[in-house]
Amino acid sequence: MLSYRHSFHAGNHADVLKHTVLSLIVSALNEKEKPWFYLDTHAGAGRYQLSGEHAERTGEYLEGIARIWQQDDLPAELESYISCVSALNPNGKLRFYPGSPLIARHLMRPQDKLHLTELHPSDYPLLRNEFLKDERARTERSDGYQQLKSKLPPPSRRGLVLIDPPYEIKSDYQAVVDGIKEGHKRFGTGTYALWYPVVMRQQIKRLFAGLEASGIRRIMQTELAVLPDSDRRGMTASGMVVVNPPWKLEEQMNTVLPWLHKKLVPGGTGHARVSWIVPE
Ligand code: SAM
């Protein structure tokens, strides 16, 4: 089942959190000369048109990236993320939004490599075209979870894996835990960033319990809720789980998350949280 299209949701509050964390991790990798490898298991289309039919229909980006990208008091921690958005919108009007592959590309250096997989028959060709001329990137129409077995460890032994499924099938909640275990077995020093939606809190508690039981250490969590938890349909919050986070990430998120929460949720509902699922 592949009915999910990220173009309906691009630039929403969940993307803002996800891409903030992504850009901070990539920036941390850039602090050393040694090349890094980025694996994006669920890459999406790469670039999203915010004035397009899909994004206009939901208007989600208006309560996400549109609320923060031109703020005068932008925290330093958001500069690399916003630089990716600005690069796609050079005349100052918000028309395009960069997905995770474009954020990684904007921040990467000549020595770094990207491997991007996407299954959707409409989104994959868009992703492939975006990277046709970039020799540092490979795109593949294949199952993202499979890459955690076949592409790890990377030759450079440094890198980041982003796992960002749509959770349109319930098995994704277990598949992400199994996927992290598979990846970690092969590449224990890598950083793994997993996005999750909070639709039913119980599902996330189970996901975290699975991670705790895995025996993997250094698992951080950061979450931004726009509404309190609810039993009704719909996403009230989203978060990122980061295995082996860069040492500054906790402090950076503690600085930036209250600012993001204030700007994205002017009514002040929900919460902002940084904590450890499993410490050192
Ligand atoms: N990571 C993207 C970003 O941040 O811009 C967004 C990805 S979107 C949330 C999830 C994507 O996963 C969808 O485009 C969907 O078609 C794709 N997908 C679903 N199942 C997949 C699978 N097993 N392997 C690879 N891609 C998959």
Q: Ligand 1 mean position to 116 CA, how many Å?
A: 10
Judge whether residue 233 has pLDDT over 80.
Answer: no
263, part of any domain: yes
Q: Is 167 left (phi over 0), alpha (psi -120 to 50) or beta?
A: left
126, part of any domain: yes
Mean pLDDT along residues 112-129: 98
Q: Ligand 1 mean position to 120 CA, how many Å?
A: 8
Q: Which atom of ligand 1 is nearest to the CA of 102?
A: 5
1, part of any domain: no
* Mean model confidence pLDDT for the chain: 96
Closest CA to ligand 1's atom 9: 166
Q: Ligand 1 mean position to 29 CA, how many Å?
A: 24
Q: How confident is the model at residue 57 (pLDDT cuts 50, 70, 90)?
A: confident
Under DSSP, is residue 91 helix (H, G, I), strand (E, B) or coil?
coil
Residue 43 CB less than 6 A away from ligand 1: yes
Which residue matches tokens 């295995």? 243
Q: Which atom of ligand 1 is nearest to the CA of 41?
A: 25
Residue 123 CB less than 6 A away from ligand 1: yes
Q: Which of 16, 19, 42 to mutate to test the pocket of ligand 1 (most atoms within 8 A of CB)?
A: 42
Q: Ligand 1 mean position to 94 CA, how many Å?
A: 23
Judge whether residue 1 has pLDDT over 80.
Answer: no
Residue 60 CB less than 6 A away from ligand 1: no
Q: How confident is the model at residue 54 (pLDDT cuts 50, 70, 90)?
A: confident
pLDDT tens track for 146-181: 999 999 999 999 999 999 999 999 999 999 999 999
Q: Ligand 1 mean position to 145 CA, how many Å?
A: 11
Q: Which residues contact 261 (CB under 8 A, 6 or more apart)?
A: 224, 270, 271, 272
The domain that holds 174 is classified in CATH as 3.40.50.150
Per the annotation, the verdict on 123 as an active-site residue is no
pTM of the predicted structure, to 2 decimals:
0.98
Direct distance between the N- and C-terminal alpha carbons of the chain, in angstroms, rounded to an integer: 38
Closest CA to ligand 1's atom 23: 143
Residue 106 CB less than 6 A away from ligand 1: no
Distance CA 144, CA 137 (A): 16
Could you list the residue range(s) of the whole structural domain that residue 214 is in? 6-278
pLDDT tens track for 106-117: 999 999 999 999
Closest CA to ligand 1's atom 13: 44
13, part of any domain: yes
What is the number of structural domains in the chain? 1
Judge whether residue 275 has pLDDT over 70.
Answer: yes
pLDDT tens track for 87-97: 999 999 999 99
Residue 84 CB less than 6 A away from ligand 1: no
Which residue matches tokens 């726009």? 226
Largest interatomic CA distance in the chain: 49
* Strand 219-225, strand 159-163: pairing: unpaired
- Of the chain, the percentage scoring pLDDT greater than 90 comes to 94
* Strand 113-117, strand 137-140: pairing: parallel
Selected catalytic residue, list 112, 164, 172, 231: 164
CB 206 within 8 A of CB 173: yes
pLDDT at 56: 80
